[in-house]
Structure formats: C-alpha cells, structure tokens
Structure 1
Amino acid sequence: MGDGSAPVDMVLVEFPGNDFNGEIFAELERLVDAKTITVLDALFVRKDADGSVRWIEADEAEDTRLSRLVGAPAGLFAEEDVEAVAADLDFDSSVAMLLFEHTWAAELARGVRRANGRVLDWARVPASAISELSGVVGDE
C-alpha cells in the first residue's frame, strides 16, 4: 500500500442473476498496468437462489486474473461490512467488493511535495452533481 497520500475507494459492483463473465478483469488490468489504480483487496459475495451466501476471496476465485491483480487477500474488508452487503443482496445475485488506491493521485501528491506545496483538501464531487450543475447528462 501507498504512503497515505492517495485516496482509497471501495466500489461495489452487482451482478444480477449471478451472471459474471469476467469482462471487468480486462479493464482492471488496464488500469493497474497504466498505474492509474492499485487494487488493494477484492472479495466476491454470492447469494444463491435459496438464500445461501458465500464469500470468495481473490485467491479463491476461479479466474486467476483477480489473484494476480490483488495478490494474497489483504483482509481489509470488515466482516460486519461484508455481512451487511450480503444481507442487502438480492437472491441469485453477486457483488464484487473492490478496494483500490488511486495510484495516479499518490504520484500527483508526491509532485506537489517536490514543488514545496501541500495538498490542503481533496474531495470527491459526485458525477451527478457535476451533471446537474453543467446540464450534462452522463451515463451513470
């Protein structure tokens, strides 16, 4: 993990009908290879049609691309958070929980420090707010 200068996001991606074909891996690999993000942890939560829930760590996934992106499970997801996600999940659906660091932001923050500057604030503005302000309709 980085030095704390880069923002870290958790993203939840739902796959209704447990229809996960692995297409997301190509984009994650592209972002990692470009040093845009670093995947810190990943976990799949699957709820079957009968309501039974299963957690799948990155190193247990059938597709080995995820374990190559993440490495050994970092254990950064709190059990109670995963249980809350599972409780809210529709039957016969899955959620990919991804925790990633914005590597590009760490590089920018280091550049600011080298220029004798300080990052005073860094806030995420939701895309919907930008769309509303600019009158642009984005695809969310």
Structure 2
Amino acid sequence: MTQLDVGPIDYLAVEIPGAKLQGGGLNALLDLTDRGIIRILDLVVATADEDGTITILTIADLDGDGDLDLAAFEGVRSGLLGDDDIAQGAALVGPGDAVALLIYENTWAGPFVSAMREVGAEVIASGRIPADDVIEALDILDARDVSEA
C-alpha cells in the first residue's frame, strides 16, 4: 500500500453567537483554501436546542446579507467528522448559538513530507500547542523585555 503524502490534519470548533456569522472569517477561510495552504475535509455548522436536539444547518446565507456564505464548502464531508463529533461540538455552545466544526489538512506541509521521505526520513509525531499557552508565553517574554529596557 502506498502512503499518501498529506499534511497534518487539524480541527477547529468555532462558536457562532446567535448563529450569525459576521466579519472576515469566511473570506480568510476561502483565501487559505484558494492559495492551497489548507484543504477543507469536513465543514458542518450545527446548533443544539435546550432539549438537546441537534440541528445541522444548511450551509447558506448565515450572516443574512443575501450572499451564500459557504457555497464553496457546501457538502464538504470526508467522513472523518461523525455524528458523535457533531453532537459533542454542539454541546459546547448555548441555545441559539451555533458551532462550526472544521477538519482541514495543512497542505503546505505535504511537499516537505514528500521531500523528507525521498531522503529516507519519516514524520514520527506531530501535535499542537494550545493558542492560550503560546499567548501566555509571548506575554511573559514581552513583560520581561519591557522590564529589562
């Protein structure tokens, strides 16, 4: 079996207050995919009612401006994101809010992985450092630089 050279696969769960998208997030997502930096494998937007009923929203005009917001991603489902995952994601937000669940490949890493394999190397681990940990570490460095100045 030939192993495909793929980049790391990541996920995001994004809370959408009032189930209304606003701002440039969608444009940034489209830009990342258009430039080949990431490839969307799954994208689902869902809500949970107070009784626990989960509704998967049709990818449509989520911000109410008359334009189809996520048409480029309509029907994007790889099978990696299952019903249990959607239920867990929807449970993270309150009634009336939505959660966007996104699984994506970091395609920028594919050529690097391929080049390393050509010389006999293999990626043996990957992981994520939580953004809050990075921000905290950078804040500590900034505070240290200010006190030394």
TM-score class normalised by the smaller sequence: 0.7 to 0.9
Q: Which amino acid aligns with 2:111?
A: E
Gaps of 5+ in 2: 62-67, 143-149
Q: Which has the larger radius of gyration?
A: 2
Query: Contact (CA 8 Å) 2:60, 2:71: kept in 1 or not?
Result: no
Q: Residue by residue, what CA displacement relative to the aligned partner does 1:16-58 show, whole Å, maximum 9, x if unpaired?
A: 12221373221111111221110001000124688753103xx
Could you state the TM-score of these two structures normalised by the residue count of structure 1?
A: 0.75
Q: Match for 2:81 among 31, 56, 77?
A: 77
Runs of 4+ in 1 over 3 A off after TM superposition: 47-53, 69-72, 127-134
- In structure 2, the residue matched to 1:107 is 111
C-alpha distance in structure 1 between counterparts of 2:4 and 2:104, whole Å? 14
- In structure 1, the residue matched to 2:59 is 61
Change (3 A) 1:111 1:136: same
Which segment is superposed worse, 81-90 or 65-74? 65-74
Shift of 1:5: 3.8
- What's the Cα RMSD here? 2.9
Question: Number of residues paired by the alignment?
Answer: 133
Query: Contact (CA 8 Å) 2:40, 2:76: kept in 1 or not?
Result: no
Q: Which amino acid aligns with 1:7?
A: P
C-alpha distance in structure 2 between counterparts of 1:22 and 1:127, whole Å? 21
Which segment is superposed worse, 28-37 or 110-119? 110-119
C-alpha distance in structure 2 between counterparts of 1:51 and 1:120, whole Å? 40
- In structure 1, the residue matched to 2:14 is 13
Gaps of 5+ in 1: none
- In structure 1, the residue matched to 2:29 is 28
C-alpha distance in structure 2 between counterparts of 1:133 and 1:26, whole Å? 29
